[in-house]
């Protein structure tokens, strides 16, 4: 288990480019920080991105109609019915089986804290199988990792649209900056600099990367003072002055975070010693420092890769989903410890689903719609939301005859539901989700 001392060390070790750019967020919020619209409560969204395209068909499996699943998945990808973790879905009037690795998530589902959103994906507008085959409007470059990762993070289906260069998490931070009382960056990424966290003005703070050397030692303090002196040396050139100011403010943000972390109590919750476990532990520690940072609203990004399972899917996905379940389970326990379980909502995203029909080598190919998890004390858990696809090759939901499910719910609707719980004004929804007007509903009902 990582200690608070280790996290402080890593956070103090560096500052990435995004942390430097987070100063733009500071400039844009100076007036908003004293806005009368500042929120009185605390809320946070935590995105867990599963890079590579998680196979939803083996994550959530029909239990009552298991025969239809087994007939197509066959011996290559079939998960035995006896090993499934059964859950009831009242809205579907059916029982389902979660992947055997999702032990912690099954318990949270049965405890009413976890919901499943079915068959969600990137969409330009609602579309049927007939419309798809007739050339109806679809997102650019379906089934491409890079394009679909960007579209899930931007909610924009076309690369030619200006908003495609920003993420919906960043745009959400742009329009809700006045909800915070402090000037610390609203967005924090513990997994690099993803598109999701980049807004028009908002940029993520990325602790523990890049520029090193500032701790509490005398030598570090001397280096820090020398750098600040250099940054203040010449303000005659506009670009140089702006860059220096951005760098200085970025360094200040990391210093502010280190001070806040040092003042916060250590977490007793034990996190798994895995990549995702470490990331979610960092996020929990930042949340524990929310009062010191004067934050009423925060957005976080974590990720786990390896889900591009063209071969050996059964073993690969099993190991990855164990990590997801254990890490998310520990994170929810940490929110309970901090007393913010109803104020923090975590959720999964991924490139796309995978074909229902197996590929050679015990794997599956790139597909479209898939199933995702939403976790938190404000989640109306213990149920499924959306429309579960008909698991039939050449069926009404199959785009290409290989079991590529046409999404019945859009990323826009998924994100808009989370954003409204977070506090976005209805009039700002189109700014955050430019295509939300294409869909009948902007709230899916899985949050109180």
SS3 letters for 396-408? CCECCCCCCECCC
* Burial zone of 310 (CB within 10 Å; 0-12 exposed, 13-18 middle, 19+ buried): middle
pLDDT in tens, 309-333: 999 999 999 999 999 999 999 999 9
Is 309:363 a contact under the CB 8 Å cutoff? yes
Residue 354 bridge partners (DSSP) = 366
Distance CA 194, CA 433 (A): 17
Helix extents (H) in 232-274: 238-263
Is 413:439 a contact under the CB 8 Å cutoff? yes
pTM of this structure: 0.89
Residue 410 bridge partners (DSSP) = 121
pLDDT in tens, 75-108: 999 999 999 999 999 999 999 999 999 999 999 9
Q: Is the pLDDT of residue 244 over 70?
A: no
φ, ψ of residue 119 to 5 degrees: the values are: 50, 55
Q: What 3-state DSSP class applies to 94?
A: strand
Q: Is the pLDDT of residue 20 over 90?
A: no
Tokens of 238: 């506009």
Query: Which residues have CB under 8 Å from 123's CB, separation 6+?
Result: 138, 139, 157, 407, 410, 411, 412, 435, 438, 439
Distance CA 323, CA 370 (A): 19
Distance CA 358, CA 378 (A): 37
pLDDT in tens, 99-147: 999 999 999 999 999 999 999 999 999 999 999 999 999 999 999 999 9
- Break the chain into its structural domains and give their ranges: 4-438
């Amino acid at each position: 288990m990582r200690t608070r001392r280790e996290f402080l060390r890593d956070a103090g070790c560096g500052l990435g480019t995004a942390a430097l750019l987070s100063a733009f967020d500071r400039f844009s919020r100076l007036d908003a920080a004293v806005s009368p619209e500042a929120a009185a409560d605390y809320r946070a969204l935590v995105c867990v991105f599963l890079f590579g395209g998680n196979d939803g068909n083996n994550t959530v499996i029909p239990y009552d109609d298991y025969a239809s699943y087994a007939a197509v998945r066959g011996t290559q990808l079939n998960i035995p019915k006896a090993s499934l973790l059964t859950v009831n879905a009242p809205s579907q009037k059916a029982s389902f089986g979660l992947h055997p690795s999702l032990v912690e998530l099954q318990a949270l589902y049965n405890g009413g804290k976890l919901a499943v959103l079915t068959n969600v994906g990137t969409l330009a507008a609602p579309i049927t199988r007939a419309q798809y085959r007739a050339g109806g409007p679809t997102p650019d470059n379906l089934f491409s990792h890079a394009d679909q990762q960007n579209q899930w993070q931007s909610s924009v289906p076309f690369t030619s649209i200006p908003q495609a260069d920003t993420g919906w998490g960043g745009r959400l931070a742009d329009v809700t900056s006045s909800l915070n009382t402090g000037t610390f960056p609203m967005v924090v990424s513990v997994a690099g600099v993803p598109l999701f966290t980049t807004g028009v003005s908002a940029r993520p703070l990325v602790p523990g990367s890049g520029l090193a050397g500032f701790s509490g030692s005398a030598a570090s303090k001397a280096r820090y003072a020398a750098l600040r002196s250099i940054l203040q040396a010449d303000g005659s050139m506009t670009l140089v002055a702006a860059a220096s100011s951005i760098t200085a403010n970025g360094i200040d943000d990391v210093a502010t975070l280190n001070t806040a972390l040092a003042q916060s109590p250590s977490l007793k919750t034990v996190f798994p010693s895995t990549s995702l476990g470490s990331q979610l532990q960092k996020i929990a520690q930042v949340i524990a420092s929310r009062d010191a940072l004067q934050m009423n609203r925060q957005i976080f990004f974590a990720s786990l890769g390896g889900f591009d399972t063209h071969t050996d899917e059964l073993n690969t996905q099993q190991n990855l989903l164990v990590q997801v379940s254990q890490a998310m389970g520990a994170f929810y326990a940490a929110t309970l410890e901090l007393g913010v379980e109803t104020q923090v909502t975590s959720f999964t995203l991924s490139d796309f689903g995978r074909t229902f029909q197996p590929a050679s080598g015990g794997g599956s190919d790139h597909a479209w719609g898939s199933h995702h998890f939403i976790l938190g004390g404000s989640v109306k858990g213990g149920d499924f939301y959306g429309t579960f696809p008909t698991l039939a090759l050449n069926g009404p939901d199959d785009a290409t005859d290989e079991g590529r499910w046409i999404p019945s719910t859009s990323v826009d609707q998924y994100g808009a539901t989370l954003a409204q719980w977070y506090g976005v004004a209805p009039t700002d929804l189109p700014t955050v989700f430019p295509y939300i007007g294409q869909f009948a509903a902007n709230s899916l009902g899985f949050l109180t």
